[in-house]
Structure 1
Amino acid sequence: MEPLALTSIVQSRLWKSTEKIWPNSIALSAKSALDMTSSPLVSPPPLKRRRVSLPERPCVAISSDISDPGEHGVSSRGSCPPHALRVFSWNVNGIDPFLPDNTPKITTFLSSPPQTEKPTTHQSIRASLLDWSWPHIVCLQEVKIAPTDIKTQAAFKRQVNTSLAVENDGDHDGESPQDHHYDVHFSLPRDKYNATGFGGKVHGVCTLVRQDLPGVKIGTVKWDLEGRVIICEMTTDQLAVINVYAVNGTMYDYRDPESGKVIGTRHDRKRSFHTHLCNEVKAYEAKGWNVVIIGDINISRSSKDSFPQLRLGEAHVRNRADFERKFITELRMVDTFRFLKRDERKYTYRPTNKPWGEGGDRVDMALVTKGLSSRLEDADMLDTEKDRGPSDHVPLYISLSAQSGDTPTWRRTGKDN
């Protein structure tokens, strides 16, 4: 067959393919483009969508002991009364599954590519925000981004605020012009001795703050170099929300962050982490503030919080007792889930190496200072296999009402929820 005849056949097949899947006006433009080229491998031009760049709330130091992160580097589940402040938390076990796949896929209109990839079953982070009815603050743990990886940080920020219609090629009508956008803040590991595995892609926390939430300041603490703590201060309400990925106690060495000298084990570091965190809470309470600690605490408080059984090794028992004494007995903080749900059994850690339901631990928690217990509207977790998504943890949340007689600042912006 002559080359020109082959080209005509290929163009004809391409044109017939476009007629089936494109609107007439677009298909006509595509046909014109095909007619203008002699290449047999020309594919239709992609649709262009406009991305909107959103202003971001700057990070600032929020106390003498807190440093700026910039220095280093619709189902209404979880819904609540409209005047409640809603805070979600999720250990995502790595941010990569929530980023768009930028790898070009090889395909033609003449044959279908082989189906070698497993279909994804999780939602995008934007879809989760919509599903959760746009919470005011979202605390993520174990994002696993290297502090030097500016590209991934920027990609996630875009993903958080990318319209679902754009993300799904115009195939999602759940959003409206009144839906919310978020500022995205990271605290990533910068400890050159204790957080170096996987090229620095370990630990890391991220806090999303709705852009209509006023009077917010964001910062990290000087005593954490592993990317485990980020604080969101709501200055007009004198409320601090501390996003925490607490140390997991092990017998591995813990080294002095300055000298690199071994000064104990990760169990020792876990208990000193408790002490530092308690001191932060005490400092806020001393100036009349309320505090929420939310995130992966890496402690199961009792046998009600573990299945099939609680970890009873000597070091774990000691860590548990240390947590109870410092946070529950001395600070009199309230475990919000136990406060409202009493003896109900639910678990936030759900291992992926077992069938769903064959194991779990409630190691993620929301603790509030005693002044907030009367304002607690709801506290729960989305304990389902679907909600676990690509992680090995499920999300949890709390809802707080305004103080009696007050109009909450999160409702003074003209938007609902």
Structure 2
Amino acid sequence: MSPSAVKRKLSSSARSVSPPPLRRRTDAVQAQRAAQTESTNHSHKLNFYSWNVNGIGPLLQKQISFTPDATYPLRNFLKAHEWPHFLCLQEVKINRADTATQRRVELAANAGAQSDEPTYSTHFSLPRDKYNATGFSGKVHGTATLTRDDTLETAASVPDFDLEGRVLIHEFATIPLVVINGYWVNGTSNPYRNPDTGETQGTRHDHKLRFHKHMLDLCKSIEERRKSVLLLGDMNVAPTRIDGHPNLRTSPIQHVINRADFNLKFLDKDSETGLKGIDVFRHLHGEKKKYTYHGRGRPWGESCDRVDLIVASRKLVDDEAVVMDTDICDNPHDRGHSDHVPLWVSLDASTWLNQSESKVD
């Protein structure tokens, strides 16, 4: 079996967390695009982008044009970054009941697509906690993932513990990889309310630590099934001193506790109970100083942090060596309307695909 033979459109199960589908494309157009993507998709490289967009609205505004195939900023972003296989977005700020905006995301991702260009499907995890995620008319938090229709088959799901629209799980069908798009809890002294009763149950700092435990349990359960984890997103933690400029956040002291808990659970290679994951940017770029958060209203580079991370199961680096490259788009242009910049990682799936082929043969 050739590598292209295992590439197909996403399964219907991946639609379980998506909005109602757009009007169906004609069979002829689908067939034409499938043929073209099959002929150009011989590479085994998988490209993953992550970006906290701080509200997806500006990416859905149609470009002014006198042509009928005018595109959207979201489509232009995908094109500018050479059509990533996954675009993991955080803080999209879409109300769960707003299916019209959810459909617009897929429209904006695909409008103006040429016959030789890929198309995308969309998946969402949006807030459903009536006590802790109700601000701004429910337009808080929220994650969305755009997956290329010509890439390997995946199924999307939301874990039971995620009531605030923070986590999207994407499990590949033919390779041993699970990608998790996450907008991790930001620790504050604000109260956290029991999602069932509404009663105060500690602070958002306490909730952040519980979230760390949930995420660790999720990752460990995946690895127990002999699959690797790739965590992408805004993790609201700057792991080390060089990840904050001019200073690392140390006050109040709970931020120090949160950071230590994150590092122990996800990055400490000597932890007996943690993931022992690898921060791929630090692994490949050493102590190079780049940042993902640049607050608005200040000169570029005056105050910034590396809180958006890509963390990989150690096996992806040490054993299978599939991590090819990674970087941070640390510049004002790529920040766009947001206060975060995108970051990306490339994986080489050839070893996995060759193993799958040998089993079939």
Determine if the TM-score, normalized by the shorter chain, exceeds 0.5.
yes
DSSP-derived class of the 2:158 partner: strand
1:80-159 equivalence runs, <5 A: 82-100=43-61, 124-159=73-108
1:372 aligns with 2:316: yes
Contact 1:94 / 1:142 at 8 angstroms: preserved in 2? yes
Partner of 1:46 in structure 2? none
Aligned to 2:359: none
Contact 2:10 2:153 in 1 (8 A): no
Q: SS at the partner of 2:93?
A: coil
Q: Distance in 2 between matches of 1:223 and 1:362?
A: 26
SS of equivalent to 1:264: strand
Q: What is the RMSD of the two structures over their aligned residues, measured on CA atoms?
A: 2.2
Query: Structure 2: how far apart are the matches of 1:137 and 1:268?
Result: 31
> In the superposition, relative to structure 1, how do residues 237 and 378 fare at CA in structure 2: closer, same or farther (>3 Å)?
same
**CA separation of 1:102/1:344 partners in 2, compared to 1, >3 Å: closer, same or farther?**
closer
- Cα 1:134/1:60, change in 2 over 3 Å: closer
Assess if the C-alpha contact under 8 Å between 2:335 and 2:342 holds in 1.
yes
- The percent of aligned pairs where both chains have the same amino acid is 43
TM-score, normalised to structure 1's length? Answer: 0.71
1:89 partner letter: S
Structure 1: tracts of 5 or more residues without a match? 1-54, 62-67, 72-80, 104-122, 165-175, 410-417
Moved over 6 A (4+): none
Matches within 5 A, 1:269-308: 269-308=207-246
Q: Deviations over 1:395-415 (max 9, x none)?
A: 000011125474498xxxxxx
Give CA deviations for 1:104-127 in whole Å, capped at 9, x if unaligned.
Answer: xxxxxxxxxxxxxxxxxxx70111
**Kept after mapping to 1: 8 A contact 2:275/2:313:** yes
Change (3 A) 1:57 1:93: farther
TM-score by length of 2: 0.82
Q: 1:56 to 1:102 in 2, by over 3 A?
A: farther
SS in 1 for 2:47: strand
2:150 alignment partner AA: D
1:315 maps to a residue whose letter is Q
Q: Tell me, what secondary structure is at the counterpart of 2:294?
A: coil
Is 2:95–2:126's contact at 8 Å kept on the other side of the alignment? yes
The answer on 1:160 being equivalent to 2:109 is: yes
The amino acid of 1:375's aligned partner reads V
Q: 1:256 aligns with which of 194, 198, 206?
A: 194
Partner Cα distance (2:50, 2:354) in 1: 25
Secondary structure of the 1:155 match is helix
Q: Which has the larger radius of gyration?
A: 1
In structure 2, the CA distance between the partners of 1:127 and 1:70, relative to structure 1 (3 Å rule), is: closer
Q: Secondary structure at the match of 1:88?
A: strand
Q: 1:216 aligns with which of 154, 179, 185?
A: 154
What per-residue deviation string (whole Å, max 9, x for no partner) do you get for residues 138-184 of structure 1? Answer: 100000000111111111110110016xxxxxxxxxxx522110110
SS of equivalent residue, structure 1 residue 222 = coil
Alignment of 1:4-403 (within 5 A): 57-60=11-14, 68-69=16-17, 82-100=43-61, 124-163=73-112, 176-313=114-251, 314-329=253-268, 330-373=274-317, 374-402=321-349
Distance 1:97 1:278 in 2: 34
